[in-house]
Structures are given as structure tokens and as C-alpha cells.
Amino acid sequence: MRKGLTRRHFLSTVSAAAAGMGTATSCRKSTEKNYPWRGPRGLLAETEVLIAGGGPAGIGAALGAAMLGARVFIIEDCGFFGGVGAWGCGMQMNQMRPGGNPRSNIHELLIEKLLAMGSQAGRFATGAAFDGPNALLCNVEYLKVAILYALEEAGCTYLVHTQAIDALTEQNRVNGIVVATKQGPMEIRARVVVDCTGDGDVSCYAGAETMTETGNLSPMTLCFNTSNVTQEDILAGQQEYSRNLQHAKADFPLIHQDVPDLSRVGNSHFYYTNHAGTRDMGQFNAADPFQFSQAECLSRRQVVQMVEALRKYGGGGLNKIEIVGAGPRIGVRESRRVKGGYILTEEDAMNGARFEDAIAWRSGNLDIGFVRVNRMKIHDVPYRALVPESIDGLLVAGRCISATHIGASAGKSMGNCIATGHAAGVAAALSVKEGLMPRELPVQKIQDALRDGGVDLDFSGRDQEWMERAINS
């Protein structure tokens, strides 16, 4: 008899198996023993640098830290990496090569892995519609796999379907996180944690001060793909739709007052639509479970209404358009931002601010999705904007760095989020190597390591002349 199996258990297993119920019985037994969340939490892993969230910032952070030799663990709530970029259904990754210039080894590694997968994977866009050469157009299914190749090549350990639900703290220091898994909540311990959740989740759980805009949050959008139409159908259909807009709006109340844009996904024959989303439906905060749920569910109805409105009011061109699919989740442009030693502002973006502790720069537009767009100057991101004011062992990157509501909107292009991620990953790896807290690191060391990683930290302050050239050409 197997060790540990009593005669009574053995007999009950045998008789249940004989009745064709063996699996059910053993399953019930093992479940009774293995509810770790009813006892002390299990330790899932220990690492040097732990990245929570695998969107553009998280990927930048993981690659940045791994390339400096740190042991890196990255966890992601979804079943794939890429964040909003991957669930956006084919949105262009802006500011990947501003003006056609490579901006770091990490951006280039991701580009290389994607383009190596062939013509269906993606291509660089040029021209006025894309603000000149900078935007990588991708098919998201290839993007998700390209990211895995990049993480594996850099030696990162990763888990998907793993959500950060708490922070492990000792006084003001973060020592890891608690994650939700199919075995219940488990701990991952780390020397430094980088919060790339977009919503500042880990920082909030650790007690860091966060900022959330009230009454003025950027809209969320559920992007979608359509097919079964040609470019000519779209042009003709959009004009017809525009003429019928008032009737369409009366029929489909969740649609917008403008004509939806349908742009080709990479080299494919289907189209991607980004739109004003929840802009006209009220205020929704992604950090509030009820509001987040409501935004998602209203938006699913909105997508169907938008496509049905195109079919009914888009004339001969669009009456056969079909939905290929909507994103697996609604895209959040803005929620919590984590207060650091400096808060980036609208003026910083418009004036091309320079900082002595620059660790990244942001290019492109100040863009509050479908509310306001301004051409800004390239400006620095100071290291202080990545370091939470009062919590140690923690860095922040991506759309939840320390910035005002409008300051945040100036940096949300994916290329910029990868850049702040890269910087946070480098700082985290150096912090482990030097045995210092992130806030104690000499910034010069981070800057030197970033320059070694292909980052030009003197790029800021300038106008983005390639955008003007694209528009005038």
C-alpha cells in the first residue's frame, strides 16, 4: 500500500473507482487538504526584481533589468503580455522609433522579434496619419508571441493568469507581492518590485500616496476589429454614414456623434477601430469595481451598436461589414497615478522640460483620448517620477508614474511607456547589485547604464520636426 494512504482511504478509493467515480473521490480528498489560503500563504517564488503587470512598461522593465544581469520574474493578470497594446486589437505602437530613430536596445529587440515573424506580424507606418515615421503597426496575435520570445531571450521567468492582490510590506518597505493563483493567494518575494500595473495597484496596496482625477478621467475604450469591406467601401460608406448620423444616433443611443475610423491592421485585410469609448456615457474609474464593470459592460453593447449602425446607415459600402472581435478587456487610459518626488505637468510637456535626473524622454502628442490633442515638445522624465514618495523597495513605470492628469496624457504612447519601464528595470537591477534602495541610487549610474543600453538622454527639448514634415508632405 502507498505510504500515507490508510486502509480506510484505500478501500474508499477502490470502491469509488470501481463505481467509475475514482477521480471525483480523489479530487475531493486532495481539495480538502490543499486549501493553502485557509492556512498560511505558500511561497510561489523568490527573485531579485519582480515586475507586476506585463504591458508595455512591464515588458520594458523586465527586459531592462534582465539585460543588466538581474534575476527577473514578471507576472501578468491576462493570459498574454502586451497590456492595452495587445487587447487594443491592432492599435499602432506609437513612438517606437520617433523620427525613424531607434530609441533603445529594448525597443529594438521587440521590433526585431515582431518583424522576424513575417509580413503578417507588422510593419512600420509613415505619413501624416501616423505623425511621420514612428509607429509600429502590429497584428496583436504576433505581438503577444514576439514578446514571449523577447522575455525568453533575456532570461526572464514569467507567469500569466497571475494577479497582484496585495503587497508584502515591512514598515515602509515592499518585500514582494501576494498573487491570486489557482492555488489561492501566494507570495512572491523580491528585493525590488516594479509596479507596471497601469493602475498603480501594488503601490496602492503598499500604502503609497496615489492621485486620481475626479470628474475628468480620460475615457476608456473597447476597441474592435471588422472585416468584409474594402477601402473603397469604407470611404463611400463613411460619407453616407456621416449624412445619416442623426438617424443612426436616435436608433443606436450608445454610438458617438462622429464617424468611426477604420484603419487597416498591419498588412491584414481587416480593420481596427479606436473610438471615444465611454466619453459620452459618464465618469468611470477603473480602480472602482462597480464603475469598471459598468464601463466594460456598457462598452460591449456600444461596440455592437456601432457596427450595427454602420451596417444600417453606412449605405451600400458598409452594409455587409462584420465584427471580427472586440478586445478581451476595455482599454484604460488613466486611473491612479503614484505620487513621486516630482509630478510631471502639462507645462513640462509643452515646454520640453529638461531635468538633471532624466532617465527617459517622451515624444508624440499630449493626447487625452478623443477629448484633446496637442503637439508637445520632447521632454525628460525625471527619476523622481518613478520613485514613490514614501515607500521603499518599489518603483513605478508606464501610465501610472507621478504626473498630473494632463501630464500623464503626454506620456502614454507605448514607446514612451516602454522607455520608463526600461529605466525602472535598470534602476531595480542596480539597486539589487549595489545593495541600495532605489531612492538611494546615484542617478548617474542609472543614466550610464541606460546610455549603454542605447538610450540618448539628450534627445529632449526639441520640436518634433518629423511630424510637421509628415503633415506637409
Ligand X SMILES: Cc1cc2nc3c(=O)[nH]c(=O)nc-3n(C[C@H](O)[C@H](O)[C@H](O)COP(=O)(O)OP(=O)(O)OC[C@H]3O[C@@H](n4cnc5c(N)ncnc54)[C@H](O)[C@@H]3O)c2cc1C
The residues of the shown chain that bind ligand X, judged by CB under 6 A, are 52-58, 75-78, 83-85, 88, 91-94, 163-164, 196-199, 201, 221, 223, 274, 331-333, 369, 398-399, 412-414, 417
Phi, psi angle pair for 373, to nearest 5°: -135, 130
Residue 135 or 321 with smaller CB distance to ligand X: 135
- Asked if 414 and 364 touch (Cβ cutoff 8 Å), the reply is no
**What is the closest distance, in whole angstroms, from the C-beta atom of residue 370 to ligand X in the complex?**
9
**What is the closest distance, in whole angstroms, from the C-beta atom of residue 243 to ligand X in the complex?**
27
Residue 50 or 313 with smaller CB distance to ligand X: 50
**What is the closest distance, in whole angstroms, from the C-beta atom of residue 329 to ligand X in the complex?**
7
Residue 85 or 393 with smaller CB distance to ligand X: 85
**What is the closest distance, in whole angstroms, from the C-beta atom of residue 23 to ligand X in the complex?**
32
**What is the closest distance, in whole angstroms, from the C-beta atom of residue 6 to ligand X in the complex?**
41
E strand map for 200-350: 210-211, 224-227, 263-264, 271-273, 322-326, 337-338
The rounded distance, in Å, linking the Cα atoms of 196 and 174 is: 15
Q: Collect all residues with Cβ–Cβ distance below 8 Å to 27 and sequence separation of at least 6.
A: none
**What is the closest distance, in whole angstroms, from the C-beta atom of residue 335 to ligand X in the complex?**
9
**What is the closest distance, in whole angstroms, from the C-beta atom of residue 120 to ligand X in the complex?**
20
- Asked if 375 and 470 touch (Cβ cutoff 8 Å), the reply is no
The rounded distance, in Å, linking the Cα atoms of 364 and 373 is: 10
Residue 224 or 313 with smaller CB distance to ligand X: 224
Residue 239 or 263 with smaller CB distance to ligand X: 263
- Asked if 326 and 370 touch (Cβ cutoff 8 Å), the reply is no
Burial class of residue 131 in the structure, from the number of CB atoms within 10 Å of its CB (0-12 exposed, 13-18 middle, 19+ buried): buried
Question: Helix (H, G, I), strand (E, B), or coil: what is residue 297?
Answer: helix
Q: How many Cβ atoms from other residues are within 10 Å of residue 62's Cβ?
A: 34
Nearest to 344 by CA among 374, 386, 395: 386
Using only C-alpha atoms, the chain has a radius of gyration, in whole angstroms, of 24
The rounded distance, in Å, linking the Cα atoms of 465 and 459 is: 13
Residue 78 or 233 with smaller CB distance to ligand X: 78
E strand or H helix at 446: helix 443-452
Q: Which residues is 185 bridged to in the sheet?
A: 180
**What is the closest distance, in whole angstroms, from the C-beta atom of residue 52 to ligand X in the complex?**
5
Nearest to 410 by CA among 359, 368, 458: 368
**What is the closest distance, in whole angstroms, from the C-beta atom of residue 166 to ligand X in the complex?**
10
Q: Collect all residues with Cβ–Cβ distance below 8 Å to 428 and sequence separation of at least 6.
A: 49, 61, 65, 70, 192, 194, 395, 438
Residue 234 or 338 with smaller CB distance to ligand X: 338
Residue 210 or 221 with smaller CB distance to ligand X: 221
**What is the closest distance, in whole angstroms, from the C-beta atom of residue 196 to ligand X in the complex?**
5
Residue 174 or 417 with smaller CB distance to ligand X: 417
Residue 53 or 99 with smaller CB distance to ligand X: 53
Question: Helix (H, G, I), strand (E, B), or coil: what is residue 171?
Answer: coil
- Asked if 30 and 24 touch (Cβ cutoff 8 Å), the reply is no
For the chain, the straight-line distance linking the first and the last C-alpha, in angstroms and rounded, comes to: 81
- Asked if 93 and 415 touch (Cβ cutoff 8 Å), the reply is yes
